[in-house]
Structure 1
C-alpha cells in the first residue's frame, strides 16, 4: 500500500444514418455529441480536493439489504441496491468510511459493495461479465476486520494486477459472513492466482482456509437452472447466498 494511504489510515479520521446531412455535417454532430457526453462524465466524476492524496482509481460505495427467501428479479435488485457515494482521494474515503456502520454490526441479509466508479456491482455489468470472484466464508465476528483489510489493500493497489480488480463485497448472513473480490478476466489464471495469494496475505488467512473462485458466467448459469426449477424467481447480480444459503 502506498505510504500516503498508510499514513492517513492511522489518523482515524448510436445508429449511423447517412440519409440526412453530409458526411462532414454528421461527423461534426457526432463530435459535438461526444463532447457533450464527455462534459457530463467530467461533471459527474469526483476529483481529489486541494492538497488531498489521490487514489489511482475513483471508487463508489453501495449498500443493499433484502428479506431472505423473497423472490427477486434484475429490476428489483437494481432498485434495492443503493449508492452511498463516490470518492477520489484517501481523505474522501475516510470521510465516508468513518461514518459507516461496520459489517459486523449489520443485521439480516445485508451487503456492502466497493467498486470502481462506473462499474455496477452486478454480474451483467460490462466490466464484470467476463470475470469472476474469489469467495471466502467467515465465521461470525471476523467480517469487520477482514473487510477493512481487504478494501485498504484494494485502494492501496496491493494486488498488483493492473486494471483487473473491479471491486469487493462483504455479505452479512445469519450463520456466516462472506467476502469476495471481483476481477475482470476469469480466464487469466496467472492474474486470478496472484489475487488469491495477495488475498491470503492481506487477510492473514490460515493455510487451511478454503477459497473458492467462481466465474460470473457460472453464477448466472446456476441461477438460471434454479430459476427453472423453482418457478421463475432469481436474483441476478447478487450473491446467490442472499436467497439460497450458498454461493
Structure 2
C-alpha cells in the first residue's frame, strides 16, 4: 500500500547562497544563489530538510566558517554557505521579485548560541510551510497569504552575527504587526525562556526595486 502523503497549502523551494568572493556585482551575487530542492508535501519537506546542514554547522562560529560540499560530489568541502532561504515556488529570494518589491521584511540581526540559531530557523521554516503564522481570511472566508518566504543569513565578520528574516507581500501596518506578534511566539517555541537581553528583536524594512 502506497504511503499517504500530506499536501501543503503551497509548493516551496529551499535555496542556498554561497559566500561572495568579494565582487559587489549584483549579477555575480545572483550566480551564487542555487535552488536546492522543492517540495509540496510534509514528507517531501522532511526528506530534504533533514539532510541539509544546520546554520550552526556552516556559519561562522567565532573561529571560522566551515567549508561544505555539494551532496554526492565526492569532494572535500569547497564552498562556504552564507545563507539559506525558503520561498514559495515562483518567488525568488531577492528584493526585485514582483512579489517581494511590493512588501518588506521583519528582520532580527544579532548573535544567537548555536542551538538557538538552529531552533529559530527550524521553527520559522515549519511555521511558514504549515501556514501557522497567518490566520487572516477575506470577506468571503478565503485564506489570505502574506508571507513570501524566510531567510537565515550569516552576517559575521570578526565576530558571530546572524540575521533571521521573514518576507511579506504587504506593507499594511495592521497585518505587519499581527504577523510580528505571532512570529515571536512561533520562533521561541521549545526554548527555555530567554533573558530579556537575548530575546529576538525584530525591525521592519520596506523592499524597493
Pick the TM interval, shorter chain: 0.7 to 0.9
Structure 1 residue 176, shift from structure 2 partner: 1.1
Deviates more, 1:92-101 or 1:158-167: 158-167
Trace 1:134-153 onto structure 2 (pairs within 5 A): 134-140=106-112, 141=114, 142-153=116-127
Task: Name which of 113, 134, 140 aligns with 2:85.
Answer: 113
Cα-to-partner distance string for 1:28-70 (whole Å, 9 max, x where unaligned): xxxxxxxxxxxxxxxxxxxxx96200000000000002246x2
CA contact (8 A) 1:106 1:172 kept: no
Distance in 1 between residues matched to 2:32 and 2:204, nearest whole Å: 26
Distance in 2 between residues matched to 1:56 and 1:210, nearest whole Å: 29
Identify the residue that residue 214 of structure 1 maps to in structure 2: 205
Q: How big is the alpha-carbon RMSD for the aligned residues of Structure 1 and Structure 2?
A: 1.9
Cα-to-partner distance string for 1:93-130 (whole Å, 9 max, x where unaligned): 00001110000111346100000000000100011011
- The normalised TM-score by structure 1 is 0.63
Identify the residue that residue 153 of structure 2 maps to in structure 1: 171
Return the structure number with greater strand share: 2
Structure 1 residue 210, shift from structure 2 partner: 2.2
Does residue 133 of structure 2 align to residue 159 of structure 1?
yes
Distance in 2 between residues matched to 1:81 and 1:121, nearest whole Å: 9
- The normalised TM-score by structure 2 is 0.74
Return the structure number with greater helix share: 1
Structure 1 residue 73, shift from structure 2 partner: 2.2
Identify the residue that residue 105 of structure 2 maps to in structure 1: 133
CA contact (8 A) 2:103 2:207 kept: yes
CA contact (8 A) 2:20 2:29 kept: no
Structure 1 residue 206, shift from structure 2 partner: 6.1
Distance in 2 between residues matched to 1:50 and 1:74, nearest whole Å: 44
Distance in 2 between residues matched to 1:167 and 1:54, nearest whole Å: 18
Structure number with greater Rg is 1
Cα-to-partner distance string for 1:183-210 (whole Å, 9 max, x where unaligned): 0012x11111011001111123766642
Structure 1 residue 78, shift from structure 2 partner: 1.6
Secondary structure of the structure 1 residue equivalent to 2:36:
strand
**Count of residue pairs brought into register by the alignment:** 168
- Which ranges of 4 or more aligned residues in structure 1 deviate by more than 6 Å? none
Identify the residue that residue 32 of structure 1 maps to in structure 2: none
Secondary structure of the structure 1 residue equivalent to 2:28:
helix
Structure 1 residue 143, shift from structure 2 partner: 1.5
Does residue 42 of structure 2 align to residue 90 of structure 1?
yes
Does residue 108 of structure 2 align to residue 123 of structure 1?
no
Structure 2 gap segments, 5+ residues each: 60-64, 66-80, 137-143, 189-193
CA contact (8 A) 1:113 1:170 kept: yes
